[in-house]
Amino acid sequence: VLAVGGQQVLDGALSYGELSSFFMYTLFLGFNAGNIATAYAELRRAAGASERVLALIGRPPPLTGSGTLPDCRGEVAFENLRFAYPTRPAETILDGLSLRVRQGERVAVIGQSGSGKSTLISLLTGLYEPAGGRDIAEIWPRLALCVAVVPQEPVLLSGSLRDNIALGKPDATEEELRDAARRAGCDFALSGGAWEREVGEQGMQLSGGQRQRIALARVLLRPSPVVALDEFTAALDPATEAALLDSVEEALAGRTLLLVTHRKSALRIADRVV
């Protein structure tokens, strides 16, 4: 464009202003054509994802929840548990695991990466089905409601900080919400107008440590007898972690705790390490 247009300017067939305008229009056209191509690719991906989501929604649940649920007292027991991921059935992650956690006990689960620590939490909440062990499939849907979890990668929804904390207990009062935020170390959410601040899709407006503390506030708000914390201090500095551990130890008094961690500093709130 510049070569041909420049020659026409030299020949007097085109003015400098006309060449500049034509060049800018060409840039705008190319830029928007690129945007259209990108949008089309995104739509194709979204269409494929929606098909998978609809197929998942239409899938009949393997666990019907027709059994009788005993009272949720806060005691956790794994009996001869065996598990392998559906995508790798030949690779057993947990084999013959038995673990009993008494009501109100705090147990830390440690081990090398890939040893099945986070998998244990997923099995406890019913995200996976065990391949072997005591069958609790008929009572699982309601049993999982007894467990509150802070995962390694907390899930936040678009909305305000307040709305995301309230997911732990939708009918909570404003005082309960703010108290849970304080105990979880969410001081950043309580200052100025931050309480109604939008967090963005998946909480992208927040740091990793802030997302973990928001997820912890949900758990502290929810009156579940069993709490599972999966690397919940991984994105925190030592000073913040120490203060948060003190707060968690006090807030979870009397509740059963499963703590998955790589940090030795977090073991101080545990009664037992496995």
Mean pLDDT of 120-147: 67
Q: How many CB atoms lie within 10 A of CB 58?
A: 7
Which pLDDT does position 138 carry in this prediction?
43
Mean pLDDT of 98-102: 86
Decide if pLDDT at 263 tops 50: yes
Look at 12-16, 40-44, 101-105 and tell me which has the smallest mean pLDDT: 12-16
The 8-class DSSP code of residue 160 comes to B
Look at 21-35, 41-55, 250-264 and tell me which has the smallest mean pLDDT: 21-35
β-strand partners of 97: 81
Contact present, 225 and 69 (Cβ < 8 Å):
no
Look at 4-8, 47-51, 54-58 and tell me which has the smallest mean pLDDT: 4-8
Q: Give the C-alpha separation, 264 to 39, whole Å.
A: 47
Residue of 142 and 166 predicted with greater confidence = 166
Mean pLDDT of 250-272: 88
Which pLDDT does position 148 carry in this prediction?
87
Question: What is the separation of C-alpha 144 from the centre of its chain, rounded to a whole number of angstroms?
Answer: 17
Residue of 53 and 56 predicted with greater confidence = 53
Decide if pLDDT at 273 tops 80: yes
Q: Which residues of 228-255 are buried (b: 16+ CB within 10 A; e: fewer)?
A: bbbbbbbbbeeeebeebbebbeebbeeb
Contact present, 229 and 257 (Cβ < 8 Å):
yes
Which pLDDT does position 120 carry in this prediction?
85
Mean pLDDT of the chain: 82
**Which token pair is 110?**
């440690």
Which pLDDT does position 71 carry in this prediction?
62
Q: Which H or E run includes 106?
A: strand 106-109
Q: Return the top range by mean pLDDT from 53-57, 70-74, 120-124, 153-157.
A: 153-157
Question: Considering just the CA atoms, what is the radius of gyration of the chain in Å?
Answer: 27
Please give the CATH topology (third level) of the domain spanning 76-273: Rossmann fold (3.40.50)
Fill in the amino acid letter for 172: A
Which pLDDT does position 133 carry in this prediction?
60
Q: Residue 180 phi/psi, 5° resolution? A: -65, -40
Which pLDDT does position 62 carry in this prediction?
55
**Which token pair is 263?**
């940090």
pTM over 0.75: no
Please write the tens of the pLDDT for every residue from 162-217.
999 999 888 899 999 999 999 888 888 887 778 888 888 888 888 888 888 899 99
Which pLDDT does position 112 carry in this prediction?
81
Q: Give the C-alpha separation, 19 to 133, whole Å.
A: 77
Name the pLDDT band for 137 (thresholds 50, 70, 90). very low
CA distances to 3, 22, 210 from 7, in Å: 6, 14, 59
